[in-house]
Structure 1
Amino acid sequence: MSEPSDPSTESGLDARTQRKVVRERYARIATEGSDAESSCCSSDSSCGSPDEESTSSDETARQLGYSDGDLESVDGNANLGLGCGNPQAIASLNSGESVLDLGSGAGFDCFLAAQEVGASGRVIGVDMTPEMVEKARANASQNDAEHVEFRLGEIEHLPVSDDSIDVIISNCVVNLSPNKPQVFDEAFRVLRPGGRLAISDVVLTAAVPDEVRADPDSVASCVAGASTIDRLESMLTETGFESVSISPKDDSDEFIRDWDDDYDVSEFLVSASITARKPAVDDT
């Protein structure tokens, strides 16, 4: 695979362009609905967005690992059918914990997390798209989620104080960042000692075709910006995380293969569960 145009990115785009195409795509989804995009990784797609002719947002969510109970417990249109997994399934949330969702979208994972941590806990969602933050805040009112708040910001520059979060979750968002090491540095900063990371995301299993890696739509739809497992492990350990585990989901090809009309994306991409922990005593 040839080197990307910007050394900090995995894709063939420079960081400024990558952020721009991602923000524009998710602004469109927020204002027009997930049917504005057809399938996760096609030229008219967004990560985990359902095919409007065949798959509803609820059906897509079930494919990603959410239960009927999850879907029924959240009111409004928080579930946009986006993502590549269910971070709740690996987060093991406890009552009273503080949770941060990186790239919170319309708030679906935040509202599920809020049910787990209870009124004594709190949940913060961060998203860089103003339209998504507005949508999530409206959904919060509809769900009476008083201990959930949504903040506008980039996951490389989190508007969250140091050592204030117990658990960080995210669903198919880190791959969209042009600077993943900085994302993990920020995650480490805001986690309390002993805090943990529980992320669903896509990882590379083979080289992405050059024409895909340099395509803005593919970058914004969770394909061209993904990293290999080895590279992600290196980023996390170099940041200071311990107990790093990246586990590919063997059955993710069932939905990933349909993300692009021209390529079988499952030939070079797989969904994975990514977990890590900040040391209980920070010796850095």
Structure 2
Amino acid sequence: MTNTEQNLKQLVQEKYSEIALQDADLNRASCCGAGGCSTEVYNIMADDYTNLNGYTTDADLGLGCGLPTQFARISKGDTVVDLGSGAGNDCFVARAETGETGRVIGIDFTSAMIEKARINAAKLNYTNVEFRQGDIEDIPLRDNRADVVVSNCVLNLVPNKAAVFAEIKRILKPGGHFSISDIVLTGHLPEKLKEAAEMYAGCVAGAIQKDEYLQMIADSGFQNIIIQKEKPIIVPDDILANYLSPAEIADFRNSTSGIFSITVYAEKEGLKCCAPGAGCC
């Protein structure tokens, strides 16, 4: 790992430790929880979870950029893994889908988030939801463990995204699938935005080009790649003004560049059967 990658990981860990300890209403009124947001909008990233079964207010820190569990095709009895599980919101929504016969495992890089999620799970008396601290570039699970992997606005924070997709493929069972919401770019994002620490921890500056993101999934060996949802992220002028001059804001607005939330579905190849009667299927 390069020094730059290590520094970015440390930055994210520090910011999300801070987020875990601050008031949930402050998180929801911020840009992906990273800091003071806009007077023009309530939250520029997050979608509304409140109508989903399993939604838990105490676990919703307003840090997402989509609703991957809504699209994840979770079945009763499934084992679901949530990468970057935060305070547990997506895990609890997934638990409503997989039921008491399934299992949900949340993985998060930040010890403060793990502690918060475990407290929330204990309040709900969920015995089939667990939380493990770990790096999603090296997921602390054995091979072929999960039926479904979900993640919400997390991979854009990780320096080595290809390593994460390789790990997702490793932990998925043959024929398993993922549904991931993330931030991607089209065109050129101004360097001043990409270099701003708050915007990095706020889910923007770590994002890559949409085409590159989808190609990375394909190169990792996944099949049946589908964009399940896509929405533009309109960053208000009062946020952009922290990083760009009025002329630079005008140039950005008039360009073809954009920031998008996408929810992507893809499948791991299933087992290939041998000849009938061979006993390998």
> Shared fold (TM-score greater than 0.5)?
yes
2:220 maps to 1:239: yes
Q: State which of 179, 187, 200 in structure 2 corresponds to 1:198.
A: 179
For 1:94, what is the secondary structure of its paired residue?
Answer: coil
Tell me what 1:17 maps to.
7
Tell me what 1:130 maps to.
111
Q: State which of 2, 26, 39 in structure 1 corresponds to 2:16.
A: 26
Q: State which of 239, 242, 259 in structure 2 corresponds to 1:260.
A: 239
CA distance in 1, matches of 2:170, 2:101: 23
Task: Give yes or no for contact 2:144–2:170 (8 Å, CA) kept in 1.
Answer: yes
Tell me what 2:150 maps to.
169
Residue by residue, what CA displacement relative to the aligned partner does 1:187-234 show, whole Å, maximum 9, x if unpaired?
A: 000000001010111110121111222222222111111111211122
Say what the alpha-carbon RMSD is for the aligned residues.
2.9
CA distance in 2, matches of 1:192, 1:248: 24
For 1:101, what is the secondary structure of its paired residue?
Answer: strand
For 1:26, what is the secondary structure of its paired residue?
Answer: helix
CA distance in 1, matches of 2:264, 2:62: 20
2:58 maps to 1:77: yes
Structure 2: any 5+ residue segments left out of the alignment?
A: 274-281
Task: Give yes or no for contact 2:156–2:206 (8 Å, CA) kept in 1.
Answer: yes
Tell me what 1:64 maps to.
47
Q: State which of 60, 63, 74 in structure 2 corresponds to 1:93.
A: 74
Higher relative contact order (CA 8 A, sep 6+): 1
2:239 maps to 1:219: no
Which structure has the bigger radius of gyration? Answer: 2
Structure 1 residue 182: Cα displacement? 0.2
Q: Structure 1's 115 and 38: CA in aligned 2 closer, same or farther, altered over 3 A? A: closer
Q: Percent identity?
A: 37
Q: Structure 1's 99 and 50: CA in aligned 2 closer, same or farther, altered over 3 A? A: farther
Task: Give yes or no for contact 2:114–2:131 (8 Å, CA) kept in 1.
Answer: yes
Task: Give yes or no for contact 1:39–1:259 (8 Å, CA) kept in 2.
Answer: no
CA distance in 1, matches of 2:44, 2:193: 26
Structure 1 residue 257: Cα displacement? 4.3
Task: Give yes or no for contact 1:101–1:168 (8 Å, CA) kept in 2.
Answer: yes
CA distance in 1, matches of 2:15, 2:27: 9
Task: Give yes or no for contact 1:21–1:217 (8 Å, CA) kept in 2.
Answer: no
CA distance in 2, matches of 1:258, 1:93: 39
For 2:112, what is the secondary structure of its paired residue?
Answer: helix
For 2:239, what is the secondary structure of its paired residue?
Answer: coil
Task: Give yes or no for contact 2:52–2:93 (8 Å, CA) kept in 1.
Answer: no
Task: Give yes or no for contact 1:107–1:125 (8 Å, CA) kept in 2.
Answer: yes
Structure 1: any 5+ residue segments left out of the alignment?
A: 1-5
For 1:15, what is the secondary structure of its paired residue?
Answer: helix
Q: Structure 1's 172 and 245: CA in aligned 2 closer, same or farther, altered over 3 A? A: same
Tell me what 1:110 maps to.
91
TM-score (norm 1): 0.82
Residue by residue, what CA displacement relative to the aligned partner does 1:38-79 show, whole Å, maximum 9, x if unpaired?
A: 5226xxx52xx78597887xxx59961424354xx4446111
Structure 1 residue 282: Cα displacement? 6.9
Residue by residue, what CA displacement relative to the aligned partner does 1:1-57 show, whole Å, maximum 9, x if unpaired?
A: xxxxx9x8xxxx91011101100011001112342685226xxx52xx78597887x
Tell me what 2:278 maps to.
none
1:144-183 matches, within 5 Å, as 144-183=125-164
CA distance in 2, matches of 1:138, 1:95: 25
CA distance in 2, matches of 1:272, 1:163: 26
